[in-house]
Amino acid sequence: MIADIGLVALTIAFLFSVYATFASAYGGWHNQLTWVESARNAVLLAFPFLTVSVIVVVYSLYVLDFSLAYVYDVSSQAMSPFLRVTALWGGQQGSILFWAWLMAGFVATVLLRKWERDRELMPYFIATAMLTTAFFVGVALFITNPFMRLWHIEGATELTQSLFQPANSMPYFPEDGGGLNPLLRHFGMIGHPPTTYLGFTGFVIPFSFAIAALITGQSRGDEWIRTTRRWTLVAWIFLSIGLILGGRWAYDVLGWGGFWGWDPVENAMLMPWLTGTAFLHSVMMTEKRGMMKKWNMILIILTYSLALFGTFITRTGVISSVHAFAKSALGPAFFAFIGLTFIGSVTILYLRWDTLRSEHTLESFISRESAFVLQNMLFLAITFAVFWGTIFPLISELVTGVKITVGPPYFQRVTGPLFFVLLLLMGIAPLFAWRKQAMRALGKVIWIPFLASLGIAIIWGYIHRMHPASIIGLWLVTVTLSLILAEFWKGIQARRTTLSENPFTALFNLIGRNHRRYGGYIIHISVLLIALGFIGDANFKLETQGTVSSGESLTIGDYQLRFDRLRGYPGSDGREIVEAVTTLSQNGETIRALNPRRDYFIVQEQPVTVPGVYSTPGKDVYVLLVGWDDGGQSATFKIYVNSLINWVWIGGLMMIIGTIIAAWNNPYQREMTYVLKPGGLSSHPLLQEG
């Protein structure tokens, strides 16, 4: 009964979305404000109806209405109420609905906040964004409907899924459901899908504004960029958090001791992140200098297309992956939609290409402008390398008949040097002046940080002379870090001398006066911390495996792990736990007890390995219980020592803080007010000093 409400709400939301798409396009084309306003109202109604639909799914998961096929698939009695709710995105049907709901929510928010401001762009913004939303709502309604029921047809051996009762059938109410895949019951996997979806759907907003700007010819100006800057930042940070949570999940759950494996699903998410990052930077050139308008358009179209592309390849099984979703009928519809988006946006871009001329040319090879061009090229090159490696299995199969999967070494070798240059650029480019940078002046600024980092790298190199490759990586991190810190130092010094503030007030005010700049620097530092994790993973990883009897120890580096005994007990969420009691010591001194476990999920008949981890800023000792024998008298362990890995998570947190600072509304910036031109859709900003 309740499910019927959800189905009806979903159907109405679909009709409103389709209506909004056409009404706004029609209103924009014929310059009729009433149609556009009607479209806006349709969007503002579609969202609450979708919300009802989502609430019904969540409620059904919570109360375990197993007559719904989706609930039967992903929920079970043994799951805690919290896990049942998160099962909304635990399977295909729920996650598509969730995705559509987020997207509609974003579009509605824009219409509530920006309606007065960007009237000229609105008709085509609504049309573009709601076309996408209507597509996802349509998929949720017609292809992956979460309200399908289970029916038992007379004489059939298998259950049938259908919205309405088939002939000769009885409704079927299972006792219990399959439950969420145990591997997904981890905070990383609970947080990863929603953040990823927020990131992907968030990019719909700048993309739709870009398309609207192209259609209306407003692309010449940079209004659409100013409007969407914060949206882009929000989408970008959610995508970043999604990537990091995914890595954390892999590290904690998959049990191979790493956090990044260049798997197609990971690449699918990395590619839009790369182009999105380039876009975030590139738009500054348009704001400040009226340049790189073509780049911005290409980058935002690419970002959005790659987000769709990633969703497509992972959800349809076109490229097999470790964590591909179950196959579904989604493929053809998604393919048609992707084709339409690619061809449509490129066509519009082509028709408006001439409006995107730069207002200035590059004046010098060493300048802020040329640094931006270089960073865009680097990001694109990395994206292309990742793209090539990801679709290579398809190409190789088409050409030679053999599917060749390129492994992590390809990605590391090709993207490594490019990332190296990019990180270096990240340190130096902010020092470049606009238009032209005098080399002598640049030298004056960078020689101290450069020498300091060289010194540190030499000391580091001496300590780690066994790992010469790490020296280059560490030097890179130190030189870039010291260049960024020098910027903070200079700013603080200036405030101290001119305003006689104490260092902390100076730092606080420095950031407060220029959110974007210093928020950006903080994000740059966080990227360096994450790079440290990759350097540690590539250079210092230790690994051993062995079987020991009770009382015996395994040794790895300076660490010893003593196996004491095994114990078993029932755990929460329907699992039986077998836990090893071990003691970790370093050079003979006891550090602490570690309890690597094997959780066996009874209903799913699936074991999950939970590592025992001793974590410090420098390194993690990561112990896996591989197996046991003789009734628990001996056990096999795999031990990793992962250096610097924690800096990935610390960097992730810092990235969030930096983004919040960068996106914060700056009270010192000029306030903008807008007036509606009489009798029409157009509005123009009037700049007024605030």
Partner 1 sequence: MMGQLPTDEQEVQPPPTADRKRVGIIVTFALILTLLGLLAWGLKKAQAGPRESGMAPDFTITGFDGRTVTLNELRGQVVIVNFWASWCPPCREEAAYLEETWRKYEGEGVVFIGVDYVDTEKEALAYIEEFDITYINGPDIGTRIAQAYNIQGVPETFFVAKNGELRGVHIGPMKSPQLDEKIEELLAEQYP
Q: How far is the CB of 162 from partner 1 (least distance, A)?
A: 21
The CB-of-405 to partner 1 minimum distance in angstroms stands at: 4
Contact footprint for partner 1 (CB under 8 A): 183, 216-217, 220, 254-256, 290, 312-313, 316-320, 322, 327, 331-332, 335, 338-339, 342-343, 346, 350, 353-355, 357-361, 391, 393-395, 397-398, 402-405, 407, 604-607, 609, 624, 626-627, 636, 638
User: Closest approach of Cβ 356 to partner 1, in Å?
Assistant: 9
Q: Please state, in angstroms and as integers, the Cα–Cα distance from residue 645 to each residue in 534, 537, 651, following that order.
A: 7, 7, 10
The 3-state DSSP class for residue 398 equals helix
3-state DSSP of 335-367: HHHHHHHHHHHHHHHHHCHHHHCCCCCCCCCCC
How many Cβ atoms are within 10 Å of 367's Cβ, its own excluded? 18
Choose between 112 and 322: whose C-beta lies nearer to partner 1.
Answer: 322
Closer to partner 1 by CB, 19 or 637: give it. Answer: 637
Q: Which is nearer to partner 1, 331 or 512 (CB)?
A: 331
Q: What is the distance between the alpha carbons of residues 254 and 582, in angstroms, rounded to a whole number? A: 21
**Whole-number Å distance between alpha carbons of 160 and 143:** 15
Question: What is the Cα 267 distance to its own chain's centre?
Answer: 11
Smallest distance, partner 1 to C-beta of residue 327, A: 7
Could you tell me the sign of the dihedral formed by the alpha carbons of 526, 532, 537, 541, in that order? negative
- Residue in the block written with tokens 């060749």: 404
178: its two tokens: 């399959």
For the chain, the distance separating the N- and C-terminal CA atoms, rounded to the nearest angstrom, is 55
What's the closest the beta carbon of residue 15 comes to partner 1, in angstroms? 29
CB of 353 to partner 1, least distance (A): 6
User: 280 near 232, Cβ under 8 Å?
Assistant: yes
Cβ proximity to partner 1, 445 vs 626, nearer residue: 626
Closer of 172 and 384 to partner 1 (Cβ): 384
Q: Tell the smallest beta-carbon distance from residue 409 to partner 1 (Å).
A: 12
Q: Measured from the CB atom, is 152 or 403 closer to partner 1?
A: 403
Nearer to partner 1, 65 or 118 (CB): 118
Dihedral of CA 336/340/341/342: which sign?
positive
Q: Which is nearer to partner 1, 149 or 352 (CB)?
A: 352
Report d(CA 511, CA 492) in Å as an integer: 10
Task: Enter the tokens of residue 161.
Answer: 């899924």
DSSP string of 290-343?
A: S--HHHHHHHHHHHHHHHHHHHHHHHH-SS--TTPPPP-THHHHHHHHHHHHHH
| Nearest approach, Cβ of residue 560 and partner 1 (Å) | 21
Residue 346: CB minimum distance to partner 1, A: 6
The partner residues of 672 in beta bridges, in order of sequence, read 687
CA atoms in the 13 A half-sphere facing the CB of 405: 10
Closest to partner 1 by CB, 294 or 496:
294
